[in-house]
Structures are given as structure tokens and as C-alpha cells.
């Protein structure tokens, strides 16, 4: 049997994708939302609204890193002292390595760091893998053919422009990218055609919708978040403290230029927010990797906007 699986993120592209699937396969589609635990409540409310407004059940799934954290704890106890890590750091890390049930935070506790543009493991670990493990594999194991609908658009990046609309992954799985040639305006037009509201965050200074903030967020977006949603900055502040406890060198949400503890310690979310308040190219924090025009998520799966 054929199945159409539509990944919903709460952003405009995946909403357009969902609406297109409703037009084409109203009786043979399933929608899934991978909750990473770092979205704003407005996005969670929007996903619930989408379910109600379209009448399509949206399955919520979450990654679980409790086993990885347990294994990391065992490794820290067994190996860190051999590597010259001070006992004080080991004790601190062992007590910090406790799963919280918040996927984004637990992933960072396990890795001992936050993801970055160069090491963007978040989309894969928090969205792609749980969707494959919890949704795709059970269907494929039963011998089904599965079309994984992905809301990527060619005009977002050269890598995405090089993708095929239909790709045979093997084992009964196909990647399907029906809005590859669409523009952002086409996606909003699809909302209007179906009488569906877009995520209100687009009217609140957010260029993209997903994590708040995303590791790739733009400077002006970060400033807007700090003004409108200080609770999102507070959450990251708390996570920086938690992940730092669990790591050897310290960890900050926006990446440090090296593992040097002095730099890492300085580059907290508060420092980055201060920098975001400076005029274009503000000198004092220009070592930071947050850019005026930050890159989009490099994932080719379109799971993050």
C-alpha cells in the first residue's frame, strides 16, 4: 500500500505542503510534527490550529535521548579521569547528565555542546531521525511504499536547487518535493486559497519559523526575539548553564571560535543579544558567528524552515 507522509513544522512551506497533500490525497495522507522542545508556544498553538482548521490529524513525536545520556554518564565516569579531566569537572558533569524530556536540551547534554552551522546535528537528530524511526520504518517494515513529502524550495539555496522532485531512496521509500519550484509567495497564496491563517510569528519580525531562536537566526531576528519574547532568551540562558555543567569546556548556544574556555565563557546568549543591539557590523562583538543574513538550515529534508 502507498502512504504519503507530510512533515509539518508550523512554517509556511510545510503548511503549503500539507494543503497540497490535502488537495491531492485527501484519503491517503498522514501529517507528522517533530516537537524539538525549542519552539515558541505560538508555533505549538499554530500546529494545533492547523489540525483543527484542516481536519487532518497531526501526529506529534519527540526524540528521546535518555539512553544516550546514560551511556555518556557511564563514559564520563569510566574515561574522563584517564584523559586528565579534573575530578571536580567529572563530578559536576555526572550530576548534570540527567534527561529532562526536552529533546533539544537533552541532545545538547548528550553531545556536551550546542549545534552550530558547521555541526548542524539538530535537524537530523531532532526531526529527521525520530520521523524515520517512529513513522517511516514501521510502515516500510510492513512492505508499504512511502512518499516522504518535503517542503524544500529551490530558491532557498544552491544545494536545494540541485535536488530532484522525486527521489528513490530505496526499500520502498521515496523523497517527494512537490513545492521545489515554488516561491515563498506561492506558499502564502496556498494558505489564502484554503482560508488558512499563516503562523502569526511571521508578523512579529520572524523570517523563519521553527526553533526560537534557531542556531541560524539572523541578527535582526535575534534582536526582535529578545524584545518580544524575553522568555525565549531566558530559556537559552538556563540551557547554557545546564549544558556547560555537562561538558568539559563549557558551551554556548551560538558557537565559540574555538574550544578555548575563556572565549566560550564570554559568548553567552546575553553577549550575543547585546551585539544584536549594535548597528550593522557592530565592532565589539564581530567575532560572533551570528550574521546579518544568516544561512538557512542546511538540512536537505526541509524539516526546519
Q: Rule CB under 6 A: which residues touch ligand SF4?
A: 36, 38, 115, 120, 122-123, 126, 210-211, 214-216, 297, 304
User: Minimum Å distance from CB 302 to ligand SF4?
Assistant: 11
Task: Report the alpha-carbon angle 185-31-298, nearest 5.
Answer: 55
What CA–CA distance (Å, rounded) separates 8 from 31?
7
DSSP labels for 217-231?
A: --HHHHHHHHHH-HH
Q: How far is the CB of 34 from ligand SF4 (least distance, A)?
A: 9
CB of 33 to ligand SF4, least distance (A): 13
Query: Which candidate, 110, 103, 116, places its Cα nearest to that of 69?
Result: 110
Residue 166 C-alpha cell reads as 522525486
Closer by beta carbon to ligand SF4, 261 or else 291: 291
Residue owning grid cell 524530556: 101
Of the candidates 290, 249, 248, the one whose C-alpha atom is nearest the C-alpha of residue 271 is 290
* Closer residue to ligand SF4 in complex, CB, 31/36: 36
Q: How far is CA 235 from the centre of its chain?
A: 15
Percent of the chain as helix, strand, coil, to the nearest 5: 50, 10, 40
Q: How far is the CB of 232 from ligand SF4 (least distance, A)?
A: 12
Q: Measured at the alpha carbon of residue 131, what is the angle toward residues 125 and 137, in degrees to the nearest 5? A: 115
C-alpha cell at 87: 575530578
**CB under 8 Å to 253, separation ≥6 — which residues?**
114, 213, 215, 236, 239, 240, 269, 272
Q: In this complex, which beta carbon is closest to ligand SF4, that of residue 146 or of residue 206? A: 206
Nearest distance, CB of residue 299 and ligand SF4, angstroms? 7
Q: Which residue is nearest to ligand SF4 (CB)?
A: 304
Which one, 93 or 209, has the nearer CB to ligand SF4? 209
Name the residue nearer to ligand SF4 (CB basis): 73 or 208. 208
Measured from the CB atom, is 37 or 172 closer to ligand SF4?
37
Q: Find the shortest distance in angstroms from Cβ 67 to ligand SF4.
A: 21
**CB closer to ligand SF4, 7 vs 123:** 123
Closest approach of Cβ 250 to ligand SF4, in Å? 19
Find out whether 217 and 291 touch, Cβ atoms under 8 Å: no
Q: Where are the alpha helices (DSSP H) in the chain?
A: 12-24, 41-54, 66-79, 87-96, 103-111, 121-123, 129-131, 137-141, 158-161, 184-194, 219-228, 230-246, 261-266, 269-276
Closer to ligand SF4 by CB, 7 or 38: give it: 38
Q: How far is the CB of 122 from ligand SF4 (least distance, A)?
A: 3
Dist. CA 195–CA 22, nearest whole Å: 13
Amino acid at each position: 500500500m502507498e502512504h504519503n507522509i507530510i512533515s509539518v513544522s508550523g512554517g509556511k512551506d510545510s503548511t503549503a505542503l500539507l494543503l497540497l497533500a490535502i488537495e491531492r490525497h485527501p484519503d491517503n495522507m498522514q501529517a507528522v510534527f517533530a516537537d524539538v522542545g525549542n519552539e515558541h508556544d505560538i508555533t505549538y498553538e499554530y500546529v494545533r490550529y492547523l489540525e483543527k482548521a484542516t481536519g487532518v490529524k497531526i501526529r506529534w513525536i519527540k526524540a528521546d535521548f535518555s539512553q544516550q545520556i546514560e551511556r555518556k554518564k557511564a563514559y564520563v565516569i569510566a574515561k574522563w579521569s584517564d584523559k586528565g579531566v579534573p575530578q571536580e569537572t567529572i563530578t559536576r558533569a555526572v550530576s548534570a547528565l540527567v534527561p529532562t524530556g526536552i529533546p533539544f536540551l537533552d541532545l545538547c547534554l548528550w553531545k556536551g555542546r550546542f549545534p552550530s552551522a558547521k555541526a548542524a546535528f539538530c535537524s537530523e537528530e531532532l526531526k529527521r531521525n525520530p520521523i524515520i524511526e517512529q513513522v517511516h520504518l514501521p510502515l516500510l517494515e510492513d512492505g508499504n511504499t512511502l512518499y516522504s513529502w518535503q517542503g524544500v524550495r529551490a530558491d532557498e539555496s544552491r544545494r536545494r536547487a540541485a535536488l530532484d522532485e522525486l527521489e528513490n531512496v530505496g526499500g520502498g521509500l521515496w523523497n517527494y518535493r512537490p513545492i521545489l519550484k515554488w516561491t515563498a509567495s506561492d506558499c502564502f497564496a496556498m494558505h489564502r486559497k484554503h482560508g488558512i491563517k499563516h503562523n502569526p510569528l511571521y508578523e512579529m519580525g520572524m523570517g523563519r519559523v521553527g526553533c526560537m531562536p534557531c542556531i541560524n537566526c539572523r541578527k535582526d531576528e535575534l534582536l526582535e526575539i529578545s524584545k518580544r519574547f524575553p522568555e525565549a532568551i531566558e530559556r537559552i540562558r538556563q540551557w547554557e548553564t545546564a549544558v556547560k555543567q555537562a561538558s568539559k569546556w563549557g558551551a554556548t548556544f551560538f558557537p565559540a571560535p574555538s574550544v578555548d574556555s575563556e572565549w566560550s565563557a564570554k559568548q553567552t546568549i546575553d553577549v550575543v543579544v547585546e551585539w544584536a543591539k549594535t548597528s550593522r557590523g557592530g565592532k565589539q562583538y564581530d567575532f560572533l558567528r551570528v550574521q546579518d543574513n544568516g544561512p538557512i538550515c542546511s538540512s536537505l529534508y526541509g524539516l526546519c524552515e
